[in-house]
A = this chain, B = another copy of it.
Amino acid sequence: MKKQTFLLGFSIILFFFSLTITKAQSPEQNLEKLGIALPKVSPPVANYVNAVRVGNLLYLAGKGPSKPDGSYITGKLGKDLSIEQGYEAAKLVAIAHISVLKAELGDLKKVKRIVKVLGMVNCLDTFADQPKVINGYSDMMVAIFGEKGKHARSAVGMYALPMNIAVEVEVIVEIED
């Protein structure tokens, strides 16, 4: 009898423990935990839209590293900005894309997978660490979406970007039905 009570108690503890480990944080909770307030989505700068959905794929327009005041981080890696500054800029691009996703989907839990990232770094031709810069984008996506945030990626060096922004990224996202 005593043994049964023990087993029952142990099972109840296991049950609640499993609840704890399977209760993943929502992307919104992850944002809050990191102290990130999503900025207002910046309007497209021309005759296009921020996102187009086809089936369960969402194609997002290229975004740059916009600061909370709406201005952009500008300059070239290898000349004006350090790798760390580029990394921080790439994080801001990820936040800009997450803002677009939030505006499009309402609930970030509808993100099924960050599928494909093209990360473009404004840099000198002697700069060879584009991956370390775009890691700012990738790390932020994984911090917010967990395993769903892991994507296929290219990271390349650009000669010129609009308004001399430091980083531009475009992304394809899979959405829950």
Contact = CB atoms under 8 A, between A and B. Distances in A.
A160 B128 contact: yes
Contact of A113 (B54, B60, B164): B54
Interface residues on A, range: 35 or more
Interface string A68-90: 00000000100000000000000
Contact of A160 (B118, B139, B157, B162): B157
Q: State the copy count for this chain.
A: 3
A135 B48 CA distance: 9
A115 B59 contact: yes
A41 interface: no
A79 B151 CA distance: 34
A138 B47 CA distance: 6
Contacts of A115: 52, 54, 59
A151 B54 CA distance: 11
Interface in A136-177: 138-139, 142, 150-164, 168, 170, 172, 174
Interface of A: 44-52, 54-57, 59-62, 76, 113, 115-118, 120-121, 123-132, 134-135, 138-139, 142, 150-164, 168, 170, 172, 174
9 contacts: A47-B139, A48-B138, A48-B151, A62-B153, A62-B155, A121-B160, A128-B161, A128-B162, A157-B162
